[in-house]
Structure 1
Amino acid sequence: MTTRYGLYIAPPAHSELWRFGSAVLGWDAETGADVPQLVPPSADARAFRALTEDPRRYGFHATMKPPFRLAEDRDVDALVGALRDFCGGRPAFRLPRLEVRAVGADADGNAFLALVEPQPTPELLALERALVTGFDAFRAPLTEAEIARRRPERLSEVERENLMRWGYPGVLSRFRFHLTLTGRAPAAEVPTLVAELSALHAERVSEPGLLVDQIALFVQDRAEDPASRFVVRERVLLV
């Protein structure tokens, strides 16, 4: 099976935050269409297009249950049904206003740019844990190739355990909420990109904070193109 699904937090499609994030990526996963890219003032348009290539493939989102192939005894209708049942029993909540920060810096200071919380929100941590564990029966086991791509030899012991048990290293105690805006930027460019994307975020997003009132089911169909982009298949409201 070549289709993958992910359970994400994605801002409502009509929101300023969704339009901002989609514009930075140059791709709207709701409509499945390219959009004019919002390029920071000091950045070269072609170079920024390349810098956002990887997050553009996934669409603007924060990962909760990382992408997975469906288990053989499950289908997408059952997945959607389970998601509706899940969301019907959980209340919405609001995050504080998000901030543009550098995340995942390597030893040389190269880092991704993302919108993150100023501090962790307990309701969000509980939601992530419930989605990771509660929907794992829908996930097909990782193949040896999928495990190898995660380079388990470079992971911590906890991350390796997460990879083998839950299919992804950065879950549960290793979960860090982030809405990715770029791929890994060179260290010398990171401060300017943070400042300029922060200014664009302040200019274009007046909303006080992200209202988490829905879970989005994203889908990637790799039948014809292994590098195909994720699109929104379903948005299910929390109560």
Structure 2
Amino acid sequence: MTPLPRRLVAEFLGTTLLLATVVGSGVMGMQLSGGNAGIALLANAAATAAMLYVLIVLLGPVSGAHMNPAVSMVMRVRGELRSLELVGYVVAQVAGAAAGVVLAHLMFGLDMVQPGDHVRSGAAQWLSEAVATFGLLLTILVGAQRRPAASPVLVAAYIFAAYWFTASTSFANPAVTLARSMTRTFAGIRLDDVIGFVVAQLAGALLALPVARAVATSPNGEPQH
């Protein structure tokens, strides 16, 4: 197994690049489309999905390419991470996400940190985040059993779709959610709305565990763990 420090560097780097993509593509999309939110969302979804594919392929063999505390939490529940490793992963992911937002701001000549002002609250938004994160974890867990080589494509494709079928545009990641409260750009969220998103995301992630066990069965019908 890769030593923990190397895995944490991979998680930090991956989450940094992921958030730089999420925020930067949102800014570029709005600029190039003259403020058309639909076109900006399409650019945002495509860029994020593409970057996810690259990061999972490159960093998956090093750290698992979680880049998401919800994913790491589920892996801890499954016994694939120890508690100390989980703490390290989450710290690296949150720090990397914040660094990615700052990097995107600097690339576009914006203030390094901006309090988010995009209202994202209410039952529909919370349900959307639970569904988005549930689907992401289901994709990861079942994909690892059924089509491990295709996991990067599966995750990227799911996130691209979830941008469009969820009312929240599929944050599906507590570190991403917290970091996006640091920007007033297209990708932002109010800090007050972060806790609702994170609770919904963790609930959706945990719900995916028993469902994945139920559907990921071996060819002879026996559950795979």
Give me the TM-score of the superposition, normalised by structure 1. Answer: 0.25
Give me the TM-score of the superposition, normalised by structure 2. Answer: 0.26
Bigger strand fraction: 1
Bigger helix fraction: 2
